[in-house]
Structure 1
Amino acid sequence: MPFATPSWDAQLFTVLNNDWRTPFLDVFMPLVSNSALLWGIAAVIALGAAFRSTPQGRRRILAGLLLVAATAGISDLSCGVVKDTFGRVRPLNALPSVHFVEHGQWTQRPAGFVQTKPRGASFVSAHAANSMAAVLAGCAVWPALRWLMLPLPLLIGWSRVYLGKHYPSDVIGGWLTGIAVALVVLQCLRMAQSALTKRRQA
């Protein structure tokens, strides 16, 4: 069930993808959007923290990482269902003059570019959803780090528009999906912990 792009969505996309371009962002945004790089950095930080921690602290770090990974995984599966349902074509395959990265190099669609793909995977942004879900799960485990983690989904969402992969509405939909998934996962975890506590007390 594809849908037309609202005017505000297209206008904001043009601002973020074209008007606000800088040489620094051309280098920075592909790095922010690289999931493998970000997960690798997070793993190195977590391993470093675990190395300096007590055995109990290591178990808590491992449990936290498993929770974050599981929440992101559930979010990714949810996004797949939404993408298949809507089939929205990505802006780089739908609009003229879009800037995007191809084979590691920035390029731009010609002014006369015409969409040929009938379906795509633009709505929702899995990058935005998964990062939001993972960060909210991480904030529940490590609340002291929330101010360090919370900007990450915002930067990733911006990068997806900057790279021509998504419309702003795709990113907003992704954030909302990630929030919903994280709330459900954390609520299920609280219920399981409560049930386990009651069993131990019985």
Structure 2
Amino acid sequence: MDFEDTALYRDITDFARDTPMWVQHGAGTWTEAGLLVFVALFVTGWWRARRGSPHAFAIAVLAPVATAVAYVCSELLKSAVTQERPCRAVAGAAASLAECPPHGDWSFPSNHATIAGASAVALALVRRALLWLTAPLALLMAFSRVFVGVHYPHDVVAGLGLGTLVALVAIRLGAAPATRLAGAMRTSSAPAVRWLTGPGPAPVPSYGTHARR
């Protein structure tokens, strides 16, 4: 393990132990429950996209799918690297604020950071302005994993990068077929399918011109 990365882990966890109790509790809550914020944003994005174009709807639906693909990639990489958690491996470090995961629940890369990075990018592709919200949330999620002591800094940096890359590739590859599928589903005779995909954009009213005499 890189000495500087281990030293940075110690610095962050030492700092965490010196923060007020409400900060520690807040970090412990955010590091797990914070993912629910991204879930809520995915649902909101889908609901808004029901009145958008087939392409907009397709991107909104692909966003959580791409995030799930990023998570699977993270799990596969964890199984290949098998890096021990710092809360178990770093001697002399402050006790972690969160319970140290059991042996076999590997450290690299951070699943939470991967999900956060993928979510942030995918949601920004749904609506560009969301990046101003999702990027800080993803960075805060990644930092919280080191703050509570269950990941090295390089774990979360790798997770953010992996999530970003997978989300971009997955949405780029899936956009065209998903758009065609969304268009087809909106013409379905099944009411449940039409409700799921939404009515699409409201038709623009056309007004006939009448010649004046």
TM-score, structure 1 normalization: 0.73
Return the offset for 1:40: 3.6
Of the three residues 11, 15, 31, the one matched with 1:15 is 11
Match of 1:199 in 2: none
Return the offset for 1:89: 0.5
Stretches of structure 2 lacking an aligned partner (at least 5 in a row): 182-213
| Corresponding residue SS for 1:149 | helix
* Contact 2:45–2:60 under 8 Å retained in 1: no
In structure 1, distance between residues paired with 2:107 and 2:128: 32
Match of 2:26 in 1: 28
* Contact 2:42–2:123 under 8 Å retained in 1: no
In structure 2, distance between residues paired with 1:26 and 1:130: 22
Summarize the Cα distance change of 1:59–1:32 in structure 2 as closer, same or farther, 3 Å threshold.
farther
The answer to whether 1:71 aligns with 2:66 is yes
Of the three residues 94, 97, 101, the one matched with 1:98 is 94
The answer to whether 1:87 aligns with 2:72 is no
Return the offset for 1:74: 0.5
The answer to whether 1:182 aligns with 2:167 is yes
Q: 1:39-188 counterparts in 2 under 5 A?
A: 39-44=35-40, 56-57=51-52, 63=58, 65-95=60-90, 96-101=92-97, 120-188=105-173
Identity of aligned residues (%): 24
| Corresponding residue SS for 2:96 | strand
| Corresponding residue SS for 2:150 | coil
Return the offset for 1:31: 2.1
Summarize the Cα distance change of 1:193–1:54 in structure 2 as closer, same or farther, 3 Å threshold.
closer
Q: Bigger CA drift: 77-86 or 187-196? A: 187-196
In structure 1, distance between residues paired with 2:172 and 2:54: 21
TM-score, structure 2 normalization: 0.69
Summarize the Cα distance change of 1:142–1:32 in structure 2 as closer, same or farther, 3 Å threshold.
same
| Corresponding residue SS for 1:150 | helix
Return the offset for 1:38: 3.1
Return the offset for 1:153: 1.4
Larger Rg: 2
* Contact 1:50–1:61 under 8 Å retained in 2: no
Summarize the Cα distance change of 1:58–1:165 in structure 2 as closer, same or farther, 3 Å threshold.
farther
Count, aligned residues: 177
In structure 2, distance between residues paired with 1:73 and 1:167: 23
Stretches of structure 1 lacking an aligned partner (at least 5 in a row): 108-116, 197-202
